[in-house]
């Protein structure tokens, strides 16, 4: 006889960025590449965790369902995205097998670099 207990505990992110990730554009450019580090999470169920990141409006990245702690393709330590000048909030949601969710949100900022010629 098996007793199945419900899981109400959401996963925990191990390294959600706590400070903004900032980059400056190249001279007279309107965008810059920002590297988002590998996110890790664990769950009490020891089951697979899926993660999805809302990188910018209209652009969702589904990282997929993997073993705990591996949300990026094997061997990749970062994902690189092209962001326009300005501040954006990146929101990632880790979901465990029972549907419990944990949110990781952090700021990215692209600062424009302009040169003036005399």
- Domain around 75: 12-111
Residue 33 CA to residue 36 CA, distance in Å, equals 10
Task: Give the contacts of 34 (CB within 8 A, at least 6 positions apart).
Answer: 21, 23, 80, 81, 83, 108, 110
Residue 102 falls inside a structural domain = yes
Residue 86 falls inside a structural domain = yes
Residue 91 falls inside a structural domain = yes
Residue 97 sits in a domain of what CATH number? 2.60.40.10
DSSP strand pairing (101-111 vs 59-66)? unpaired
Domains: count for the chain: 1
Residue 116 falls inside a structural domain = no
pLDDT top residue among 78 and 84: 84
Give yes or no for a contact between 84 and 110, defined as CB atoms under 8 angstroms apart.
Answer: yes
Residue 118 falls inside a structural domain = no
The pTM of this model reads 0.76
3-47 pLDDT per residue, tens:
877 889 999 998 898 889 999 998 888 999 888 877 878 888 877
- Exposure on the CB side of residue 64, measured as CA atoms within 13 A: 7
């Amino acid at each position: 006889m098996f007793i199945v207990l419900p899981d109400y505990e959401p996963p925990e992110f191990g390294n959600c960025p706590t400070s903004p990730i900032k980059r400056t554009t190249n001279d007279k450019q309107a965008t810059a590449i920002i590297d988002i580090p590998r996110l890790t999470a664990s769950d009490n169920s020891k089951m697979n965790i899926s993660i999805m990141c809302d990188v910018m409006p209209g652009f969702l990245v589904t990282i997929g369902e993997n073993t705990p702690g591996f949300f990026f393709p094997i061997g990749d330590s970062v994902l690189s995205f092209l962001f326009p000048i300005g501040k954006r909030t990146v929101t990632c949601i880790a979901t465990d097998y029972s549907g419990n969710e944990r949110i990781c949100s952090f700021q990215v900022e692209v600062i424009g670099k302009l040169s003036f010629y005399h």
